[in-house]
C-alpha cells in the first residue's frame, strides 16, 4: 500500500505521513466523502468499475496474488481476463459485473473475512440447498 500511495497519491500521502494522530483520524473523514460511486456505472443488472492501471498492478495483482506461487499465477492470469482496457486509453481498465446479486453475495462474504475459496464453497452450498440458478457458475476465479 505504501508503494501505491506514494506513486498514485504523493501529495496526500506526504500530508498523511506528516500528520499527528488526531489529524490522521480527520484525514480519513475527509476521504470518506470521496465515494466509490464515482468509479461505478450501473445499468440494469450490470455494474461497470473503471480502474486505474496502477491500482490493478499495485493492489489487485500484488496484494491478492503471490507471483512466485504457480497456483496463484494461474488464478491471476484467469482473473485478469475480467479486466478490459477502456477504449482510447492506456491507463484505465473496466471490470464488468453481469450478475449484481452474485457480486453482492461475494462482497458480503469476503467482507466478513471469508477467503475467495471459502466464499466460493459457501455460495455453492447455497446454490445446492436452494436450487438458485442465479448462483450457477461460481468458482474461485470468479470470486477472486
pTM: 0.50
In whole angstroms, give the CA distance from residue 60 to residue 9. 17
Tens-binned pLDDT, residue by residue, of the chain (144 aa) = 677 777 777 777 888 888 888 888 777 665 544 555 555 666 677 888 888 877 777 776 666 666 666 666 677 777 777 778 787 877 888 888 888 888 888 888 888 998 888 888 888 888 888 887 777 665 555 555
Taking the CA of residue 9 as centre, how many other CA atoms within 13 Å lie in the half-sphere pointing to its CB?
Answer: 14
Amino acid at each position: 500500500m505504501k508503494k501505491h500511495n506514494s506513486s498514485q497519491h504523493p501529495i496526500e500521502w506526504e500530508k498523511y505521513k506528516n500528520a499527528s494522530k488526531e489529524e490522521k483520524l480527520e484525514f480519513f473523514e475527509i476521504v470518506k466523502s470521496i465515494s466509490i460511486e464515482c468509479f461505478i456505472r450501473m445499468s440494469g443488472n450490470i455494474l461497470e468499475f473503471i480502474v486505474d492501471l496502477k491500482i490493478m498492478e499495485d493492489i489487485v495483482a500484488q496484494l491478492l496474488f503471490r507471483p512466485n506461487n504457480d497456483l496463484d499465477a494461474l488464478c491471476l492470469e484467469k482473473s485478469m481476463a475480467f479486466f478490459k482496457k477502456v477504449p482510447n486509453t492506456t491507463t484505465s481498465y473496466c471490470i464488468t459485473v453481469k450478475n449484481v446479486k452474485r457480486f453482492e453475495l461475494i462482497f458480503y462474504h469476503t467482507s466478513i473475512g471469508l477467503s475467495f475459496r471459502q466464499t466460493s464453497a459457501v455460495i455453492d452450498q447455497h446454490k445446492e440447498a436452494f436450487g438458485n440458478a442465479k448462483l450457477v457458475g461460481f468458482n474461485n476465479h470468479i470470486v477472486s
